Amino acid sequence: RTARELMVPIAITLGEKASVAQAASLMALEGVHHLPIVDPTGKLVGILSTMDVVRWLATNEGSPART
């Protein structure tokens, strides 16, 4: 089998200026552990994981959930 046969087409993305709170909320709502992050043109600029969010929370405790 190929990766293409197993993949789920990317439908859920998040803009690069979204807050950490928005990312965490979308991940929880959609039940995903990774979000493709896109620029205003829709070009992929990175992948955000739940571990990235946890690390941010651990190092920014008490800060507003914005990046």
Could you write out the DSSP letters of every residue in the chain? --HHHH-------EETT--HHHHHHHHHHHT-SEEEEE-TTS-EEEEEEHHHHHHHHHHSTTS-S--
Number of domains in the chain: 1
pLDDT recorded at residue 63:
64
Summarize pLDDT for 14-58 with one digit per residue, the tens: 999 999 999 999 999 999 999 999 999 999 999 999 999 999 999
**CATH number of the domain bearing residue 36:** 3.10.580.10
Q: What's the Cα-to-Cα distance from 10 to each of 7, 15, 36, 47, 64, rounded to whole Å?
A: 9, 14, 8, 12, 29
In a domain, 67, yes or no: no
Query: Does position 65 have pLDDT exceeding 70, yes or no?
Result: no
Predicted TM-score (pTM) above 0.85: no
For residues 13 and 21, the answer to whether their CB atoms sit within 8 Å is no
pLDDT recorded at residue 9:
80
In a domain, 8, yes or no: yes
In a domain, 29, yes or no: yes
pLDDT recorded at residue 64:
60
